[in-house]
Amino acid sequence: MTSRPAAGGGRWVEVDPNRIARWVEGFADRHGPPDTTTEPYGLLLAAPDGATAELHRPPGAPAADDLPGFVAEALAPRRIGLLLARKGAVAVGVAEGTDLVVSKVDTRYVQGRTAAGGWSQQRFARRRDNQTKAALGDAAELAVRLLVPEVATLAALVCGGDRRAVDTVLADRRLARLAALRAERLLDVPEPRHAVLVAAVEAAGAVRVLVRDPQP
């Protein structure tokens, strides 16, 4: 379980679906039995002391009217696509539940920044931009080859890495149907490698909870 501050207050907690029922029990023990209401993102728990917890269902999980239904849908295996992109590296995959059944990682050299100035710096910047464009073009080709044939079977597309790189890849018109499945969540991942892609499967299935403590 990981936790980080949320913009606008509160904190995001990522909980394994197998532990979400126990997490809710702990929330109730700390703050009192909460009222539960359905929201577009999932469920809102509002405790008597003013604490709230927004339970955001995992990408591709159907909506549920109550906590048992939410847990059941979060635990149900789904087939999702994965697209991780950052600079000259891309990882593409398809997961069945917790199993990565299709995967491909590709890297292409992209020159780092240089401390030189003037014309030399501009020349290196142009070269770096061209290398980045070529790398993202290769990433789009990889997504076309591996993910487009799977579109009809996917519940969602989960992306990670650099948002601008991901946006550039999915701007390819051939990926329009795939882009329509893109989940709002963007995974924070290092440079894509096979191990990073494997770890992204678990991260993509986590329940995100926005917790706001009672106001003093």
pTM, two decimals, is 0.85
- pLDDT, tens digit (0-9, with 9 covering 90-100), for 54-80: 999 999 999 999 999 999 999 999 999
Burial of residue 172 (number of CB atoms within 10 Å: 0-12, 13-18, 19+):
middle
Cβ–Cβ < 8 Å for 92, 104: yes
Tell me, yes or no, whether 158 and 178 share the same domain: yes
d(CA 151, CA 147): 6
Both 121 and 16 in one domain: the answer is no
pLDDT at residue 43 is higher than 90: yes
Same domain, 141 and 190: yes
Is the CA virtual torsion 96, 100, 104, 106 positive or negative?
Answer: positive
- 7 plus 100 within the same structural domain: no
- Do residues 70 and 110 both lie within one domain? no
Q: What whole-number distance in Å separates Cα of residue 207 and Cα of residue 56?
A: 6
Alpha helices in the chain (DSSP H): 20-31, 67-75, 118-146, 163-170, 176-179, 194-204
Residues in the chain: 216
Kindly tell me the sign of the dihedral angle through the C-alpha atoms of 95, 98, 101, 107.
positive
Co-location of 121 and 135 in the same domain: yes
Assigned token pair, 165:
């790189």
* Structural domain harbouring 189: 80-201
pLDDT band at 109 (very low <50, low <70, confident <90, very high): very low
Are 93 and 51 in a shared domain? no
Burial of 206 (0-12, 13-18, 19+ CB in 10 A): buried
The answer on 189 and 97 residing in a single domain is yes
- What per-residue confidence (pLDDT) applies to 86? 86
Burial classification of residue 68, based on how many CB atoms lie within 10 Å of its CB (0-12 exposed, 13-18 middle, 19 or more buried): exposed
Q: How far apart are CA 30 and CA 53, in angstroms?
A: 12
Stretch 31-51: mean pLDDT, rounded?
97
| DSSP-derived secondary structure letter, 65 | S
State both tokens at 199: 């770890």
Q: How confident is the model at residue 115 (pLDDT cuts 50, 70, 90)?
A: very low
84 and 73 together in one domain: no
Residues 114 and 32 in one domain: no
DSSP-assigned letter for residue 147 = T
150 and 71, same domain (yes or no): no
Q: Are residues 72 and 85 in the same domain?
A: no
CATH number of the domain encompassing residue 189: 3.30.420.60
Task: Please tell me the total count of domains within the chain.
Answer: 2
What is the spatial distance between Cα 174 and Cα 110, in angstroms, rounded to a whole number? Answer: 25
Task: Read off the tokens for 41.
Answer: 């993102």
pLDDT at site 132: 53
